[in-house]
Structure 1
Amino acid sequence: MNPTYFARLISSPRFMLLLFILLFSMCKKGVDPENSAIVGEVFTTVDQAPTFPGGQVELNNYLMKNLRYPAEAQRAKIQGKVIVGFVVTDIGRIANIEIKQSVGGGCDEEATRVVKAMPNWIPGQLKGKPVNVQTSLPFSFTLL
C-alpha cells in the first residue's frame, strides 16, 4: 500500500466520521446520555441483585447522612413510607426513578433527591454478566 494513499485516507473527513461512529458505538452501554433511556432489557429477577457499594451497612450510613425530613411534612405531621423504584443499569448507574408509594409533604421529592445523588451501584448479574435490574428502596419518615 502506498504511504501517501494511506495518509490521505486517514485524513479524509469520511474516514474520520466512520472512525468516530465506530468508536462511539463501541462505547455506548447502559444508559443513553442524551435522554437517560435504558439500553437493553430490564430484569426483575437475577442471579445476583445489584448492591450499594459497601453493602447494606454503607447504604444505611449514606441514607442517615443524606436523608432529611422535609419541613413541610414535619409541620403537617406527615409520616409514612415512600417507596422509590429505579433501575440499576449494567454499568451501575441509577435510571428511571419513580415513586411507587407516596406520602406527600415533600417526602417523595426528598427520597427522589437522595436516590438521584447516590453513587453508582455494583450491577446485578444474570448468568455471570451484568444486566439492568429494576429494584426499589423504602424510605420511612417517622416523627419522634
Structure 2
Amino acid sequence: MEIKKNPKSNLENYSKLFIQLGLVLALFVTYVAMENKTYDRKIDGFGDANMQNVMEEDIPITERIEEVKPKSPPPPAPEKIEIVEDEKQVEETVIESTETDEKEAIVLDDIVEVDEAETIVEDVPFAVIEEVPVFPGCTGTRKQKSDCLNDKIRKQVIRKFNGDLAGELNLSPGKKKIWVGFRIDKTGTVTDIKVIRSPHPRLSKEAERVVKTLPKMIPGRQRGIAVGMKYTLPISFNVE
C-alpha cells in the first residue's frame, strides 16, 4: 500500500511568498527607522546632590623670616676738637748739585791705577793653545811644531809598544785601538796618564808604560805664560 501526501501540506509551494513578505517587512522597518526624528535631551539640574559634605582644607601660608644682624654702632664723636699751632721749625736740607762747571778743573790726584792680575787656566786644550809644547828637535811655526809633536809621539809609541802582546791575549782578528789621555804640565813633564778605552787590561798597562817613556818637552804657553795641556793619543794595531 503506497502512502500519498496531501498537496496542501507541502510548504515548498509557499516559499516564494514567504521570501517576498520578509523582504517587504525589512524594507518597511528600514524606512520607519530613517524617518523617525530624535531630539536632544535637556538636563535642568544635577538632582539632589549634596555639596555640604565636601570638606574645605585650609593651607597655611608660610613666610621666610631672615635674621637681622645687628649693626655695629658708629664710633663716638670727639667731645671737642682743639686746633694746635705747629711751632716746631723744620730744618731744610740743601742738596748740592754734582754737576761741574766747564771752567772748573778736575783734579785726578786721587785716582790710582791698579794692575789686574790676569787669570790663566791651568790646562788648555791642544786645539786652542797659542804655543803648543815643543818635542825635542821640533822647530818652525805653530803648525809645524804641532805636526812634529804628533809625529814624534806616534813614532816613539810604535817603537816602544810590545806588538806581540796582542797575539798572546787571543783577541779576535781585526783592527784594535787603545785611547790614552795624559797631560803635559807647565814644566813640560808628561803626567796624569789614564787609559780611556782598551780591549784588554794588559794592553792598558802596556799603553801606560809606553807613554811614560816620552821625554820632557818645552811646555806650552798661553799669552806668554807656561801652562799645562791635555793630550789624547790613539794607539792602533792589527790582530791577525
Report the TM range for the smaller structure's normalisation. Answer: 0.5 to 0.7
The CA deviation at 1:135 is 1.0
Unmatched segments (≥5 aa) in structure 2: 1-120, 138-147
- Greater per-residue helix proportion: 1
Q: Sequence identity, in percent?
A: 28
- Does 2:131 match 1:48? yes
* Maintained 8 Å contact 2:157/2:211: no
Amino acid at match of 1:104: H
After superposition, the C-alpha distances for 1:69-127 in whole angstroms (9 at most, x for unaligned) are: 253x3131255111111110111101111112222152111111001121112322211
Residues 89, 105 of structure 1: alpha-carbon distance in 2 compared, 3 angstrom cutoff: closer
Unmatched segments (≥5 aa) in structure 1: 1-39
Equivalent pairs, count: 104
Q: Distance in 2 between matches of 1:138 and 1:93?
A: 19
* Maintained 8 Å contact 1:70/1:105: no
Aligned ranges 1:1-144 → 2 under 5 Å: 41-44=122-125, 45-54=128-137, 55=148, 56-71=150-165, 73-75=166-168, 76-78=170-172, 79-104=175-200, 106-144=202-240
TM-score (norm 1): 0.61
After superposition, the C-alpha distances for 1:21-70 in whole angstroms (9 at most, x for unaligned) are: xxxxxxxxxxxxxxxxxxx8222231122243233443333223211125
Q: Distance in 2 between matches of 1:52 and 1:109?
A: 24
Residue aligning to 1:4: none
Residues 41, 60 of structure 1: alpha-carbon distance in 2 compared, 3 angstrom cutoff: closer
**CA RMSD, Structure 1 to Structure 2 (Å):** 2.2
Higher relative contact order (CA 8 A, sep 6+): 1
* Maintained 8 Å contact 1:107/1:141: no
After superposition, the C-alpha distances for 1:2-31 in whole angstroms (9 at most, x for unaligned) are: xxxxxxxxxxxxxxxxxxxxxxxxxxxxxx
- Greater per-residue strand proportion: 1
Structure label with greater radius of gyration: 2
The runs of 4+ residues in structure 1 deviating greater than 3 Å are none
Amino acid at match of 2:223: K
Give 3-state SS (helix, strand or coil) of 1:103's partner: coil
* Maintained 8 Å contact 1:69/1:107: no
